[in-house]
Amino acid sequence: MDVLLEARDLKKHFGPLRAVDGISLSVKKGEVLGFLGPNGAGKTTTMKMLTGFLAPSAGSAIVCGETVTAGNAAARRRIGYLPEGAPLYGDMTPAGFLAFIAAAHGIEGAAAEKAVRDAAGAVQLEKVMEQRIETLSKGFKRRVGLAAAILHAPDVLILDEPTDGLDPNQKHEVRRLIGAMSAERAIIISTHILEEVEALCSRAVIINAGRIVADGTPSALKARSIYVGAVTMLVPSADADAVADAARALEGVAGVETAGEGDRTRLTILAKPAAQIADAVGDLVAKHGWHVSQFSVDGGRLDDVFRSVTTGKAA
Ligand SMILES: Nc1ncnc2c1ncn2[C@@H]1O[C@H](COP(=O)(O)OP(=O)(O)OP(=O)(O)O)[C@@H](O)[C@H]1O
């Protein structure tokens, strides 16, 4: 696969603050990279450097072989950027705004009309093209921002919290649009929503204090969770202590967490690294005849991995 976007040891210092402190990554065509990190980790600052809106203190961003700088129009033409919050010109209509964006990219005449039509069609904006942007719902405002980002058919899309503030239906729709746009592009999205990463991203990079602390596919990251291979089940609360004690005695069990749910208790039986405990737990339940429901084996949890790599604490 072709690498379309590369960050090479990017750094940005604001006075003494090392907001971005040596980020290197590459994104290939067809990849959707989730860019995660706690508030203030340096996500937006990194994205602004990748798009040429902010000059790095050191390092460089390369798009389709071109070094990104404010003055390198060839590089910036290859990039579409949806800034955080997507500030738009509220008193313009989507039609007027997108025509303005086309002109800013030097696209004119019939080509501009086609570019606006195609971008609006891709995000299904047709019905609101003549309505003032400030009167649109958040979801439609975000679509206007996305249409503006893709209008010049960029190879690389950089989307800063594209679903922030949207309702669940709009989130679903925007994720679908991003997924549909991903085949021919390299996409980076920053997000605080971990389910979004699982639903949309082929890879995730977690940053903390300006540095990369984890990089892998969502399933590889989840495999680092203390919950990977854990068995979760509901048992009658009267049996919970007996089940927990028996489970703790099994080989391969690292510990048991309990949480009351009415007259039943949810037990999470944690596995030691690489241990397979589901069969042994199942045998134990059968042997004692406990009434167990919702028996499942955990694939690992991103929130727990996020917490441990960004705070150093396990869940
Ligand atoms: N222009 C600036 N001047 C000084 N400090 C800045 C500037 N821009 C960002 N920072 C600081 O750099 C750090 C990284 O900010 P950034 O916005 O990149 O974080 P983020 O990961 O995008 O956070 P969030 O999840 O809250 O959006 C923060 O401490 C922020 O206050």
Confidence at residue 247, expressed as pLDDT on a 0 to 100 scale:
95
Confidence at residue 122, expressed as pLDDT on a 0 to 100 scale:
83
Query: Which residue owns the Cα nearest ligand 1 atom 29?
Result: 40
CB 196 within 8 A of CB 45: no
Complex confidence, ipTM: 0.97
Q: Say how many CA atoms lie within 13 Å of 288 toward its Cβ.
A: 17
CB 12 within 8 A of CB 56: yes
Note the pTM of the prediction, 2 decimals.
0.87
Q: 44 CB less than 6 Å from ligand 1?
A: yes
Rounded Cα–Cα distance for residues 266 and 245 (Å):
14
Confidence at residue 314, expressed as pLDDT on a 0 to 100 scale:
55
Tokens of 5: 């976007």
Compute the distance from residue 14 Cα to the ligand 1 centre, in Å.
9
Q: 37 CB less than 6 Å from ligand 1?
A: yes
Rounded Cα–Cα distance for residues 74 and 51 (Å):
12
Rounded Cα–Cα distance for residues 96 and 100 (Å):
6
Mean pLDDT by 10-residue block, N- to C-terminus, for the chain (315 residues)? 91 96 96 95 95 94 91 88 78 94 92 94 90 90 90 93 84 87 92 91 96 95 93 94 94 94 94 94 93 93 93 66
Rounded Cα–Cα distance for residues 148 and 140 (Å):
12
Q: 12 CB less than 6 Å from ligand 1?
A: no
Confidence at residue 315, expressed as pLDDT on a 0 to 100 scale:
47
Confidence at residue 303, expressed as pLDDT on a 0 to 100 scale:
92
Q: Tokens 């937006």 label which residue?
A: 44
Compute the distance from residue 57 Cα to the ligand 1 centre, in Å.
15
